[in-house]
């Protein structure tokens, strides 16, 4: 039987990718560089992309990392930053020499595959952008080495310049040489925090204190010389002025408060695997506390057909060398070579540690403390499931809360997000999704492992309309374009149905472009 064509349907309208590559590696951190170099060594053609240097506007919006307003003016000069990136990571030069097509300042903002609910694509493809235009790219093999992002937990005064994440600090200090602070307080005492402290010292940045909420140092590595971790501490608040943080006030187990002068507070409690691309491509998300919370099922390896995951994005929480080795191993496996992928070390319950910190920070901060900075949603409004401030609040609205929603069923992060707007801002929930997830779990008496979570959507980085736009779109996309389903009888005024007027409208409107 000949298939009847619905001219308004998507069938055949999505164009093939603008370019197709043998191997694409997303992320030029150690895992991505390891993967790209391994693939090149195996004689494959490799495209290696990395979003760094990130545009200054995104740095200011805390995307993709929590830069916390502590980037120097150096981030305004991307050409210089590219030089710095290449100078500070010798493997990038090695990649160039190996014939790898290395594109810095290039973002992968979408991954689309045919899967349940859609078979419209000619093939799987990435959405790429260099900041000026966007394009699509097909691949034989895709290796996602997208790294991790910062985990942010709110406390009093966190919503001011000078409060930032450990990965953003590492990026600004080490890769951009664009850190604007001088004296830092580090929250956390795991290996991440200890490495952050050591990095600061190496770069001549004064470490005023390392603060731990638990009663013992959490890291397995050495505490940097000259530093003592202050354990069993509560962070009361960060105070500051027009330029942001000037001091942090903490309270020890004995109840004595201490004021520590600093210009930056680095949250180094944990990092979060950057699963955005893998998730929007259809990867199954599971919650595994030891791998960093919401992660892709299976970990390092093939997570979707022809799509592989490596490094911190897969929950690896080890050293630079570990990530490099895992990247090489994943690429080798992806290319059908003998390979042993060493999985992430799963000893430490990262979500329990985050939850301990969050409970302590909630205990010391007023419930007017913002959880979502973009949309200005306080903790009280989140747990109260109250609408944003631009709406008036009726008396009945005040009777509603997460508690009454829980009577209807388990907490649903998407529902709470859309009612409160928490997580719906420009940073795409990067500064709030982990804490919202944990706060909802706590309020519902669920363990962290069962914390509800909001999902990622394309574009996984904010992307201007004019950049995302397909300006070279094939003509077939506009053929039969209709506002809705193109069912011409749908829009005939009821009184005209079955009359001569109906025929006139159908002829005039021509089946297209209904309101």
Partner 1 sequence: MTTHHASAHYDVIVIGAGVTGLSSAWWLARDGKSVLVLDKGVIGAEASSRNGGGASHYQSPLFAEEQRLWPMMDDLLGYPTEHQAQRIIISVTQREFDHYNYIGDMCTAMGWPVDKIDGDTAREMVPITGDNCLGGIHLRFGGHANPQRTVQAYAWALQDLGGRIIQHCPVTGIETAGGQVTAVTTPQGRFSCGALVVAAGPQIAGLLAPIGIDVPLMAGRAEMIVTEPAPLMQLGGVDGNGLYGRQTMRGNLAFGGGPHEWIETMASGPRARPTTPLSRSLARRVAEMFPRAAHLNVIRSWAGIVENTPDGRPILDRIDNLVIATMSGVGFGLSPATGHAVRDLVVDGTCSFADIAKLSLARFAGIDPDWRAAAGWLPLAGA
> Which CB atom, from 228 or from 490, has the smaller least distance to partner 1?
490
Rounded CA-CA distance 125/114 in Å is 10
User: How many CA within 13 A on the CB side of residue 222?
Assistant: 5
Beta bridge partners of 135: 128
Of the candidate spans 165-173, 341-349, 354-362, 395-403, the one that interacts with partner 1 by CB under 8 A turns out to be: 395-403
Binding mask 460-489 for partner 1 (x = CB under 8 A): --xxxxx-xxxx-x---x--xxxxxx-xxx
Chain residues 260-299 in contact with partner 1, contact rule CB under 8 A: 280, 282
Tokens at 276, concatenated: 């955005």
> Which CB atom, from 74 or from 405, has the smaller least distance to partner 1?
405
> Which CB atom, from 202 or from 404, has the smaller least distance to partner 1?
404
Considering the complex, what minimum distance in angstroms separates the CB of residue 377 from partner 1?
A: 12
> Which CB atom, from 53 or from 110, has the smaller least distance to partner 1?
110
> Which CB atom, from 241 or from 390, has the smaller least distance to partner 1?
390
Q: Let me know: does 341 contact 175? Beta carbons within 8 Å.
A: no
Residues 6+ apart with CB under 8 A from 166: 150, 186, 188, 192, 193, 196, 266, 267, 268, 271
Residue 231, Cα to own-chain centre: how many angstroms? Answer: 30
Considering the complex, what minimum distance in angstroms separates the CB of residue 21 from partner 1?
A: 17
Binding mask 121-140 for partner 1 (x = CB under 8 A): x---x-x------x-x----
Considering the complex, what minimum distance in angstroms separates the CB of residue 35 from partner 1?
A: 25
Instruction: Quote the longest CA-to-CA distance of the chain.
Output: 90
Of the candidate spans 154-162, 250-258, 342-350, 504-512, the one that interacts with partner 1 by CB under 8 A turns out to be: 504-512
Binding test (CB under 8 A) with partner 1, winner from 183, 285, 505, 506: 505
Rounded CA-CA distance 209/196 in Å is 12
Collapse the DSSP code of 343 into the 3-class scheme (helix H, G, I; strand E, B; otherwise coil) and give the result: coil
Binding test (CB under 8 A) with partner 1, winner from 67, 112, 139, 353: 112
Considering the complex, what minimum distance in angstroms separates the CB of residue 480 from partner 1?
A: 7
Considering the complex, what minimum distance in angstroms separates the CB of residue 456 from partner 1?
A: 9
Residue with tokens 């000078």: 162
> Which CB atom, from 117 or from 336, has the smaller least distance to partner 1?
117
CB atoms within 10 A of CB 66: 24
Q: Contact between 23 and partner 1 (CB under 8 A)?
A: no
Pairing mode, strands 244-251 and 271-273: unpaired
> Which CB atom, from 222 or from 391, has the smaller least distance to partner 1?
391
Task: Classify residue 323 by burial, with Cβ atoms within 10 Å: 0-12, 13-18, 19+.
Answer: buried
Residue with tokens 């574009």: 459
Q: Contact between 494 and partner 1 (CB under 8 A)?
A: yes
Residues 6+ apart with CB under 8 A from 417: 423, 424, 429, 436, 454
> Which CB atom, from 297 or from 513, has the smaller least distance to partner 1?
513
Residue with tokens 């022809």: 306
Chain residues 51-80 in contact with partner 1, contact rule CB under 8 A: none
Residue with tokens 């996602």: 144
Q: Let me know: does 365 contact 237? Beta carbons within 8 Å.
A: yes
Q: Contact between 16 and partner 1 (CB under 8 A)?
A: no
Considering the complex, what minimum distance in angstroms separates the CB of residue 330 from partner 1?
A: 25
Of the candidate spans 110-118, 173-181, 187-195, 356-364, the one that interacts with partner 1 by CB under 8 A turns out to be: 110-118
> Could you tell me which of 321, 325, 323, 305 has the C-alpha nearest to residue 313?
323
Binding mask 373-392 for partner 1 (x = CB under 8 A): --x-----------xx-xxx
Q: Contact between 306 and partner 1 (CB under 8 A)?
A: no
Rounded CA-CA distance 510/508 in Å is 5
Considering the complex, what minimum distance in angstroms separates the CB of residue 74 from partner 1?
A: 23
Q: Where are the alpha helices (DSSP H) in 303-452?
A: 320-334, 350-364, 379-383, 395-398, 402-406, 413-420, 433-443
> Could you tell me which of 214, 217, 235, 239 has the C-alpha nearest to residue 227?
217
Q: Contact between 459 and partner 1 (CB under 8 A)?
A: yes
Q: Contact between 118 and partner 1 (CB under 8 A)?
A: yes
Binding mask 405-444 for partner 1 (x = CB under 8 A): -xxxxx-x-xx--xx-x--xxx-x----------------
Residues 6+ apart with CB under 8 A from 86: 92, 93, 104
Considering the complex, what minimum distance in angstroms separates the CB of residue 458 from partner 1?
A: 5
Considering the complex, what minimum distance in angstroms separates the CB of residue 443 from partner 1?
A: 14
> Which CB atom, from 29 or from 459, has the smaller least distance to partner 1?
459
Binding mask 191-230 for partner 1 (x = CB under 8 A): ----------------------------------------
Binding test (CB under 8 A) with partner 1, winner from 226, 228, 242, 396: 396
Q: What is the 3-state secondary structure (H, E, C) of 49-63?
A: EECCCCCHHHHHCCC
Considering the complex, what minimum distance in angstroms separates the CB of residue 54 from partner 1?
A: 13
Rounded to 5°, angle at Cα 162 from 158 and 165: 75
Of the candidate spans 6-14, 196-204, 256-264, 298-306, the one that interacts with partner 1 by CB under 8 A turns out to be: 6-14
């Amino acid at each position: 039987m000949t298939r009847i064509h619905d001219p308004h349907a998507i069938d055949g309208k999505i164009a093939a990718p603008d370019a197709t590559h043998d191997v694409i590696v997303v992320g030029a951190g150690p895992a991505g560089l390891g993967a790209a170099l391994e693939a090149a060594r195996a004689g494959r053609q490799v495209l290696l992309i990395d979003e760094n240097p990130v545009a200054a506007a995104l740095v200011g919006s805390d995307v993709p990392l929590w830069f916390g307003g502590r980037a120097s003016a150096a981030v305004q000069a991307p050409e210089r930053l590219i030089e710095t990136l290449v100078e500070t990571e010798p493997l990038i030069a090695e990649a160039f020499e190996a014939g790898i097509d290395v594109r810095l300042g290039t973002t992968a903002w979408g991954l689309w595959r045919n899967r349940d609910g859609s078979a419209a694509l000619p093939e799987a493809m990435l959405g790429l952008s260099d900041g000026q235009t966007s394009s699509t790219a097909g691949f034989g093999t895709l290796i996602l080495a997208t790294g991790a992002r910062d985990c942010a937990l709110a406390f009093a005064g966190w919503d001011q310049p000078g409060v930032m994440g450990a990965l953003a600090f590492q990026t600004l200090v080490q890769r951009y040489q664009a850190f604007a602070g001088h004296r830092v307080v580090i929250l956390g005492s795991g290996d991440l925090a200890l490495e952050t402290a050591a990095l600061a010292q190496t770069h001549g940045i004064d470490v005023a204190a390392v603060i731990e909420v638990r009663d013992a140092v959490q890291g397995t590595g050495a505490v940097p010389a000259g530093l003592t971790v202050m354990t069993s501490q509560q962070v009361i608040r960060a105070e500051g002025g027009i330029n942001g943080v000037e001091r942090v006030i903490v309270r020890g187990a004995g109840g004595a408060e201490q004021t520590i002068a600093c210009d930056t507070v680095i949250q180094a409690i944990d990092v979060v695997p950057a699963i955005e691309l893998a998730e929007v491509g259809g990867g199954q998300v599971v919650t595994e506390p030891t791998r960093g919370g919401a992660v892709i099922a299976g970990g390092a390896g093939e997570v979707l057909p022809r799509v592989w995951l490596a490094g911190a994005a897969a929950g690896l929480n080890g050293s630079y060398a570990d990530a490099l080795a895992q990247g090489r191993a994943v690429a080798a496996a992806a290319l059908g070579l003998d390979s042993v992928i060493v999985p992430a070390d799963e000893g430490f319950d990262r979500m329990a540690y985050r939850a301990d910190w969050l409970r302590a920070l909630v205990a010391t901060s007023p419930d007017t403390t913002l959880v979502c900075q973009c949309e200005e949603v306080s903790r009280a409004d989140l747990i109260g499931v109250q609408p944003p401030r631009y709406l008036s609040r009726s008396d009945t609205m005040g009777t509603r809360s997460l508690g009454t929603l829980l009577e209807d069923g388990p907490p649903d992060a998407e529902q709470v997000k859309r009612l409160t707007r928490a997580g719906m801002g420009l940073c795409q929930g990067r500064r709030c999704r982990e804490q919202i997830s944990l706060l909802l779990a706590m309020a519902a008496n669920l363990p962290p492992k069962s914390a509800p979570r909001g999902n990622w959507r394309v574009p996984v980085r904010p992307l201007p309309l004019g950049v995302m736009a397909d300006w070279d779109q094939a003509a077939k996309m506009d053929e039969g374009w209709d506002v809705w389903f193109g069912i011409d009888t749908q829009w005939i005024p009821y009184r005209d149905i079955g009359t001569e007027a109906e025929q006139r409208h159908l002829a005039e409107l021509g089946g297209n472009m209904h309101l």
